[in-house]
Amino acid sequence: MGKRLFPSGRTYLIVEQIELRAVYMYYKLEGNMKETRLGDFEEVILLLVGILGEEAYAFKMAEEFEAQTGRLASIGSVHSTMDRLSTKGFLVSEMGQPSTNRGGRRKRIYTITASGQLALKNSKDFKMSLWKQYPALSFDQVIFSK
């Protein structure tokens, strides 16, 4: 006869715990699925990933962000945003090749996903539709009055 691994009380406990974890995970996933809107910074980062292509890793992204916008961004903030975008499913990443100026360490290259592309497109379409409704005259006036 096989030895019972757990005393009877324990099995019950474990089943209960597994159930609870499953419920917890479900809520977590559902919660994440809802969040598809893009923030301003997130949108720029997504676009930069597309622009940089093979070179889209945290350090380069931060450099590029500074070059394009003239604003300073720490590597950490860029990294954390890309991490968040990955959990949202807009980016995927894999480790690239090691190089000497990184002390022989590999870099994590990010690529945009189909849903990332879609989110960008949605965002652009939304803004375009807003622009289309914008009265042309008053736009010129603002420009000139500056």
Partner 1 sequence: MKSVPPRLAEWVLMRFLREDLAEEVLGDLDEKFYATVESKTLLRAKLDYWFQVINYLRPFAFKNATLFHPISNGMYKNYLKIGYRNLLRNKGYSSINIIGLAVGMAVAMLIGLWVQDELSFGEYHKNHARVAQVMEREALNGNISIGQALPIPLGAELLSKYGEDFESVILAFWRQSLIISYDDINLTAEGNFMGSDVIDMFTLRMLKGGSNALTEPGSIIISESLAKIIFKESDPIGQLMKIDNELNVMVTGVYEDAPKNSDFYGLSWIAPWKLWETSQEWVRHSANTHDWSNNSFQIYVSIAEYVNMTAVSERIKQAKFNNVNERAQALKPELFLHPMDDWHLRSAWENGVQKGGLIQFVVLFGIIGVLVLILGCINFMNLSTAQSERRSKEVGIRKAIGSQRGQLMSQFLTESFLVVMLSFVLAMIIISLVMPFFNGLVEKDLFVPFSDVSFWCVSLGFILATALLAGSYPALYLSSFRPIAVLKGTFKAAGSALLFRKVLVVFQFTTSVALIIGTIIVQQQIEHTKDRPMGYEVDGTIMTWSNSAGFKGKFDLLRNELKSTGAIVEMSESSSPITMVFSRISSLSWEGKHPDYTPNFGRITVTPEYGQTVGWEITKGRDFSRNFASDTAALIINQKAANEMGMANPIGEMIKWGNDERARHFQIIGVINNMLVESPFDEISPMIFAMSKSDMNCMTLKLHPNKSASASLMIIQDVFNKHIPSVPFDYRFTDQAHGRKFASVEKIGKLSGIFAALAIIISCLGIFGMASFVAEQRTKEIGIRKVLGSSVFDIWKMLASGFVLLVGVSFLIAIPIAFFTLSAWLEGFEYKKEIHWSVFAMAGLGALLITMMTVSYHAIHSALGTPLNSLRSE
Contacts of 46 (CB under 8 A, 6+ apart): 38, 85, 90, 91, 112, 116, 119, 120
Classify residue 5 as exposed, middle or buried by CB count within 10 Å of its CB (0-12, 13-18, 19+): exposed
Q: Is 75 in the site for partner 1 (CB under 8 A)?
A: yes
Two tokens, residue 52: 């940089």
> Left (φ > 0), alpha (ψ -120 to 50) or beta: where does 67 sit?
alpha
Among 32-40, 76-84, 112-120, 137-145, which window interacts with partner 1 (CB under 8 A)? Answer: 76-84
Angstrom distances, CA of residue 126 to CA of 18, 40, 80, 85, 114:
43, 13, 26, 20, 18
Give the shortest CB-76-to-partner 1 separation in angstroms.
4
> In the stretch 86-105, what mask flags binding to partner 1 with x, by CB under 8 A?
---------x--x--xxx-x
Q: Is 28 in the site for partner 1 (CB under 8 A)?
A: no
**Which one, 71 or 132, has the nearer CB to partner 1?**
71
> Per rule CB under 8 A, is residue 51 in the interface with partner 1?
no
Q: In the complex, which residues of this chain contact partner 1 (CB under 8 A)? A: 6, 9-10, 13-14, 16-18, 20-21, 23-24, 57-59, 62-63, 74-77, 79-80, 83-84, 95, 98, 101-103, 105-108
